[in-house]
A and B are shown apart, each in its own frame.
Chain A
Amino acid sequence: MKVLVPVKRVIDANIKVRVKADNSGVETNNVKMAMNPFCEIAVEEAVRMKEAGTAEEVIAVTAGPTQCQESLRTALAMGADRAIMIETDEVLEPLGVAKLLKAVVDNEGPGLVIMGKQAIDGDNNQTGQMLSALLGWSQGAFVSKIETAGDNLNIVREVDAGLQSLTLKMPAVVTVDLRLNEPRYASLPNIMKAKKKPMDMTTPADLGVDVSPRVNVISVNEPPAREAGVIVPDVATLVDKLRNEAKVIS
């Protein structure tokens, strides 16, 4: 079975983003970028499936400007076998990305797509579910456990009330949550080896997909700031302030 892992390059999770002065978006020039943390978990899971013998080949794919190849190289260094780069300077929305990924799935025929549940830039949490819909496949969103069982996939999903266990018919799209695994760091020899692994280049036009945006971004603004508070000397003062000043406890 082939496993396809879509990944996204985003501003590094540890960077505090700044809104651009013209309110058109956030500053991305000279800002440290990295693979979206949920995508790392997805790559890790696919590589583990290959190591365990349940997957034969792990293919990483991304879409975006040329620099996004970095995230594909990271996936290759973590253990993916080859990569597909869909190059475009268009602003991509989840629906457009899902259509691009569907075209890749149609070409490659994977039995499973594993991807992050959300990217930490747009925070949309849509692409996996949309891809699953467009393919007419089963859908496991926010997954913290994956087990293959013949033609089925047993998964555990993180839901608001607790945990939901489902059996998915394969092929399937799963989106991963934090507790699925702890992604490995790529070793230096593997980073060197990754440079020689194959990367196919394509474009939305080659794939026959229209990715024109449907949502106009009118402006991007700073969130309202909280006023600075006070440091209290001890617990008694804290409780007194909460009772008599903030009046939030009785």
Chain B
Amino acid sequence: MSILVLAEHDNETLASATFNTVAAASQLSGDIEILVAGSGTSGVAEAAARIPGVAKVLNADSAEYGNDIAENIAPLIVQLAPNYSHVLAAATTFGKNVMPRASALLDVQQVSEITSVESDDTFIRPIYAGNAMATVQSTDAIKMVTVRMTSFEAVADEGGSASIEAVSATGDVGLSAFVSQEVSVSDRPELTTARIVISGGRGMKSGDNFPLIESVADKLNAAVGASRAAVDAGYVSNDFQVGQTGKVVAPDLYIAVGISGAIQHLAGMKDSKVIVAINNDEEAPIFQVADYGLVADLFDAVPALDAELG
């Protein structure tokens, strides 16, 4: 049996999450096929076909798939799934939205956000914000799985030459209508794939102070993130949120500025290679996970860091 990977894309570009998901799929036994569901996706399908180790790309190119509407994409997965042993998607807001809908229609208990493949039916996944790791075995005939991107190193994007097959569309079920998408525009790297991330917490005191860390971010070519406390306080929008209920990041360097280190935040960044914490409270739990801690007022330390980096 083969493994079906649901591609993540914006109808133009294949998103990096797809490469991490294929990496997880490659640890299972079976050929890997990629499903591209979208509108005007020939370029995305071609990019998917260039991934080494992919046997086939299924291109479901139709208007009703163009806006990531779960009610329209789930029936497509349901129609294809019986031909596969596994269906995998990234644990992004796209995968988290679509996969459980398809799983319920298939009468399958999905396994969410795996961090390790132990065997074809056994996976490790974090529970309780990563304070415990559960090893779980699926007994369903089809394994429906979402994959934590940061736990699987992306596969190469060139070298393969899979065939591309058109898939007939399942139609618009007419439940949800797309109105608009407000995409946060930034010249900085994307939070989940950046090599360096600098995040601000409640200690930033105001959204007006975020330019302090943005200046450092620009010198390091880093992405900017935030704790839930900073998002709740309205300093920045939710797509900056790193943590249990936001994004999970694992960069080479994570700099936490004015972040106390609540369990919910640590869940989103504690797999970073090197962690730096800057906080004026030496008792802050963030120092327990930091490789380098600086006990200082961030309003002195961050400008000093900015100057030191030239």
A-side residues, CB < 8 A to B, are: 11, 13, 16-17, 19, 26, 38, 93-96, 98, 117-118, 120-134, 137-142, 144, 154, 157-169, 177-179, 213-223, 226, 228-232, 234-236, 238-239, 241-242, 246, 248-249
Contact = CB atoms under 8 A, between A and B. Distances in A.
Interface residues of B, number: 90
B122 A218 contact: yes
A171 to B, nearest CB: 10
A154 to B, nearest CB: 7
Given A162-B183, A230-B293, A139 B97 contact: yes
A157 B100 CA distance: 17
Contacts of A16: 131, 263
Contacts of B74: 133
Interface of B: 10, 67-71, 74, 92-94, 96-97, 99-105, 107-113, 122, 126-140, 174-184, 192, 196, 220, 228, 231-232, 237-239, 244-245, 247, 252-253, 263-264, 270, 273-276, 282, 287-296, 301, 304-305, 308-309
Given A139-B70, A139-B101, A163-B182, A223 B253 contact: no
A187 to B, nearest CB: 23
A142 B97 contact: yes
What are the 9 tightest A-B residue pairs by CB atom distance, in nearest-first order? A130-B104, A138-B175, A214-B109, A129-B100, A126-B100, A133-B104, A229-B291, A165-B179, A235-B304
A215 B263 CA distance: 26
Nearest to B308: A239
Contact of A235 (B109, B127, B135, B301): B301
Given A94-B110, A214-B109, A163 B101 contact: no
Contact of B112 (A124, A164, A178): A124
Contacts of A226: 270, 275, 288-289, 291
Given A166-B176, A235-B308, A241-B292, A129 B183 contact: no
A127 B102 CA distance: 12
A6 to B, nearest CB: 15
B292 A214 contact: no
Contacts of A216: 136-137, 139
A248 B273 contact: yes
A215 B136 contact: yes
A250 to B, nearest CB: 9
Given A94-B110, A167-B176, A218-B136, A232 B294 contact: yes
A162 B176 contact: no
Nearest to A129: B100
Given A16-B131, A221-B132, A133 B295 contact: no
A166 B296 CA distance: 45
B237 A129 contact: no
Contacts of B291: 226, 229-230, 246
